[in-house]
Chains A and B, each alone.
Chain A
Amino acid sequence: MEMLDRLLAEHPFFKDLDPRYIKLIAECARNVTFKAGDFIFREGDPSNKFWLIRSGKVSLEVFAPGRGPIMIETLGDGDVMGWSWAVPPYRKQYDARALELTRALEFDALCIRGKCDEEPKLGYELFKRFAQIIGQRLQATRLRLIDIYGGRS
């Protein structure tokens, strides 16, 4: 438990979060390991977990009939994976597959949602952080939409 608290407190995602809240969140977390090739979740799965990747690499993939899987994003050391636990319909929209041995902290989203209901301030702090992640992903996606390497100016 102590050890988990420290791992969380050191992660940039939880920077400046009240230690009391860190303790609460740690009660919903556990250490997990995925082997290269393991699916962490599949499209359509209920979204009741999220992860902080400690080391390794994971690809988010969409399966396109006739074309096979297409990698749309890779996540690695320090990245937060999964935010669909926070918004209805609480379903995974992609497949996530470990590309190499990956260690992560796995969070039980039902447990987290329960804590947030008890402590709305914690909910606010968490959602602020997730909003930032979602914003970053959205920006990266927009950059790819405008095909930033294609034209020259």
Chain B
Amino acid sequence: MAVAVKPQTIEISADPMVPVPYRVLRVRRETPDTFTLELEALTSAFGHPSPVQTGEGSGVRAFAPGQFNMLYLFGVGEVPISISGDPAQPEVLVHTVRAVGAVTRAICALKRDEIVGVRGPFGSAWPVAEAVGNDIVIVAGGVGLAPLRPAIYHLLNHRHEYGRVALLYGARTPKDMLYKRELSEWRGRFDIQVEVTVDAARPDEWRGNVGVVTTLISRANFDPFHTTALVCGPEVMMRFTILELQKRELRDDQIYISMERNMKCAIGFCGHCQYGPNFVCKDGPVFRFDKVRELFGKREI
């Protein structure tokens, strides 16, 4: 009878509208309102006990840095959340969630062994392949570091393929910073420039920079003619970051941004996420800036 279950399983997980159940392995508190969840597919429930096996129906899905999943809580709702883990280790699905409303608050309150539905991965990716041979400058604000972390893992896993790498990160206060332990580990490496800044701090709690993240751009080491910039954060932050990158002679087609406009179906059906001629869910969330320049910064689209 087990044989009869198998094709059905594949059908279920192949339907992009049907969430697949994942179990919470671990929850880590990053800041007072932001949590990182590690999830594992409930593969055994579908008759697939062997854990690491990527592909349709195995429960383990490869993803590209920058892609997102729809996380579904029964009776509460569904929200798009970027994947924040290492693309080389897709067997553990990692998401970093900031509690801002009903669904994200409920996700942040999940405990070990509880179940969350997952659809995905969806969307476009950071151009880590196209950027091979270039210097990379990454600019992140607040929780915007989460969708960039898979790209950082990829760059560090393939460090020899890239030129200089600079990571510039701004948060409101030292307490609002994500991934503090990792940031200081990366700072200790010789092959990546890490600059972190906060809006204000007491000298006894913070030894880094104070000032807004855009002020770090003039300090980053990169060759403007051979650089790819990856930017993620609130839209105002991205707008001013792009201005500073342009001052450093970067062209718009060297700059990539991630647009977190809200969505529903995530597969290009409903039109909920429409952004000019683009659907954020399938053309985005990562866009090359010259492709969305005309729309960017508009009040309502």
Contacts and interface: CB of A to CB of B under 8 A. Distances in A.
B260 A152 contact: yes
Interface in B279-299: none
Which of B144, B172, B206, B212 neighbours the largest number of chain A CB atoms within 10 Å of its CB?
Answer: B212
Contacts of B175: none
B209 interface: yes
Interface in A108-153: 139-140, 143-144, 146-153
Interface residues of A, number: 28
A59 B233 CA distance: 26
A69 interface: yes
B202 A153 contact: no
A70 B202 contact: yes
A47 B92 CA distance: 58
Given A148-B212, A148-B240, A153 B201 contact: no
A97 B202 CA distance: 13
Per DSSP, chain B at the interface is mixed
Contact of A73 (B211, B233, B261): B211
Interface string B201-241: 11110111111111100110000000000000111110010
A76 B213 CA distance: 14
Interface in A51-81: 57, 59, 61, 67-74, 76-78
B123 to A, nearest CB: 16
15 contacts: A59-B203, A69-B202, A70-B202, A71-B203, A71-B206, A74-B211, A139-B240, A140-B212, A143-B240, A144-B200, A147-B199, A148-B170, A149-B171, A153-B234, A153-B261
A99 interface: yes
Contacts, number: 84
Given A140-B211, A150-B142, A76 B237 contact: no
Contact of A99 (B142, B207, B214): B207
B252 interface: no
Contacts of A139: 240
Which of A67, A73, A144, A148 neighbours the largest number of chain B CB atoms within 10 Å of its CB?
Answer: A148
B141 interface: yes
B30 interface: no
Nearest to A146: B236
Q: Which 7 A-B pairs have the closest CB atoms?
A: A149-B142, A148-B237, A71-B210, A143-B212, A74-B210, A144-B199, A149-B141
Size category of the B interface is 35 or more
Given A73-B211, A146-B236, 13 more contacts: A59-B210, A71-B201, A74-B209, A97-B203, A140-B211, A143-B236, A148-B170, A148-B240, A149-B143, A149-B144, A149-B171, A150-B172, A153-B235
Contact of A149 (B170, B211, B219): B170
Given A59-B210, A153-B261, A148 B236 contact: yes
Nearest to B173: A149
Contact of B210 (A73, A146, A150): A73
B233 to A, nearest CB: 7
B235 to A, nearest CB: 5
Given A149-B172, A152-B260, A68 B202 contact: yes
B260 A153 contact: yes
Contact of B233 (A57, A61, A148): A148
A111 to B, nearest CB: 29
Contact of B215 (A72, A140, A151): A140
A69 B203 contact: yes
B4 to A, nearest CB: 45
Which of A71, A72, A139, A144 neighbours the largest number of chain B CB atoms within 10 Å of its CB?
Answer: A71
Nearest to A97: B203
Interface in B187-202: 197, 199-202
